[in-house]
Structure 1
Amino acid sequence: MNPNANAGKRGPAIFSHHKTYRWIRQIHLWIGAWGALAAVLYGSTGLVLNHRMGENAWPQGDSRDAGATTLQIPAEARTSPEQLSLWLQQAQHLDVQSIRKGGPGGRGGERGGDARQPPKWNLSGGTAADSWQLEYTPGSDSAELKRNHQSFLAAINRLHKTVGGGIGWRVLADSFAIAMVLLGLSGIWMWARGRSYRQMLLSVFCASSAAFLLVVIPALL
């Protein structure tokens, strides 16, 4: 019998190479072990966040007011958001994780003049469970520091969005994201091994890919 008689019915030869398959399988297992807990966390919080809007929205956790403090802002910290951030870190031991300039604070001048006040500065930080926010209006000599405490569900939802986890969590989240990509690619590689093109075409993977594209492409248009 001609050994190449069924060559056209099989998938690419690279998918059938035993040594390559063994290495890919081992890498797939290592990646799966590294990201197993992350998959549970991201999967569960992603499901909750996916249902955060609408009439039958799922609970997203609670955020409780933990108090407010008025801070006197020194002149040197009023020059820019970066200087204010540096002062908060040095004087108040607050590490700023986000700096945003909001919309104009309103119209200035007398009798409804057209002059607009400069945008407010919003600085925030804290952990996933305990957060703080400071809103400063340029030119003012004080600002109110508000603190909030999040419930467990709200805290893990914040971690899902990489809010309040710090640099350590950001690095871990990056590694988990890369692991998910590699896990998917290696899984597809192992699934395709030993299957013909016809079997690949008439498969659950092909059906799921088609459904994915049918839903995603219209949403992006």
Structure 2
Amino acid sequence: MKTVLARPAARSGPSASVYRWIRQVHLWIGAWGALAAILYGFTGLVMNHRFGDGAWPQGDSAERGRVTLAVPADARDAPEALAAWLAAEHGLAPQVIRTSKPEGGRVGGKAVDQPPRWTLGGGTASRSWSLEYVPGNATAELKQTTHSPLAALNRLHKGVGGGAVWILLADSFAIAMLLLGVSGIWMWARGRTPRQMALSVLALSVLVLAAVLGPALA
């Protein structure tokens, strides 16, 4: 007589439904963020080795030229006024506006006060511009720069030159990676005992991360 072993019944109920739902979310988010993971992983690896004797190539940036612009009186009062004039007159919409306080310096052993400066910048990841202006002056200097593909990718990694659309897209990729991590840990830990968790590669990664981050953040 042939004996047939009964197969254990598949898990059912709320727990199984939650698992299937999280697994589907994990898969779809992974598909959405796969290219982003490759892009950010590649540029992060490159930028992580930008210092030292064995530094990796970071791409090239070349200055295209400098132009002196005459600044009208009504654009000299505030950085916002200067930015509005640049956008209206020259089609340059600033993405970054920085102001510096007056600084002191020394010339021939004598203290010399340095005026404040406004720095406005914008452009794309591959073609950027920056404007240096001393408040009250009648002119400002505009510098234009081109960036190689690798340098442009590094700029995008840092959120520079992509514009508002890239920032939104990068935010979605960042949220996707967070959800991937949380859902991946949840699915991996499901069904494991605390002892198995304590002796797992996940626990090892937590210990290594703490050992590295602790001194760095101290």
TM-score (norm 1): 0.87
Match of 1:54 in 2: 52
Match of 2:75 in 1: 77
The residue identity in structure 1 corresponding to 2:161 is G
Alignment of 1:217 onto 2:214: yes
Match of 1:188 in 2: 185
Match of 1:34 in 2: 32
Q: Post-superposition shift, 1:118?
A: 3.0
| Structure 2: distance between partners of 1:102 and 1:151 | 29
Match of 1:7 in 2: none
Per-residue deviation, residues 1-29 of structure 1 (Å, max 9, x unmatched) = xxxxxxxxxxxxxxx92111100000001
Match of 1:127 in 2: 124
Whether contact under 8 Å (1:105, 1:137) holds in the other structure is no
Per-residue deviation, residues 115-163 of structure 1 (Å, max 9, x unmatched) = x343111110000000001100112101111100000000000000000
| Structure 2: distance between partners of 1:73 and 1:122 | 14
Match of 2:7 in 1: none
Change (3 A) 1:113 1:60: closer
Which aligned pairs between 1:1-221 and structure 2 lie closer than 5 A?
A: 17-102=15-100, 104=102, 112=110, 116-221=113-218
Match of 2:4 in 1: none
Q: Post-superposition shift, 1:102?
A: 3.1
Q: Secondary structure at the match of 1:55?
A: coil
The residue identity in structure 1 corresponding to 2:188 is W
| Structure 2: distance between partners of 1:107 and 1:91 | 35
Q: Post-superposition shift, 1:100?
A: 1.0
Q: Percent identity?
A: 60
The residue identity in structure 2 corresponding to 1:90 is A
Per-residue deviation, residues 159-211 of structure 1 (Å, max 9, x unmatched) = 00000000000001111111111100000000011211111111111101110
Structure 2: segments with no counterpart, 5+ residues? 1-13
Q: Secondary structure at the match of 1:157?
A: helix
The residue identity in structure 2 corresponding to 1:193 is R
Change (3 A) 1:76 1:69: same
TM-score (norm 2): 0.88
Whether contact under 8 Å (2:104, 2:111) holds in the other structure is no
Q: Secondary structure at the match of 2:117?
A: strand
The residue identity in structure 2 corresponding to 1:174 is D
| Structure 2: distance between partners of 1:63 and 1:124 | 15
| Structure 2: distance between partners of 1:126 and 1:113 | 37
| Structure 2: distance between partners of 1:107 and 1:157 | 34
Q: Post-superposition shift, 1:107?
A: 6.0
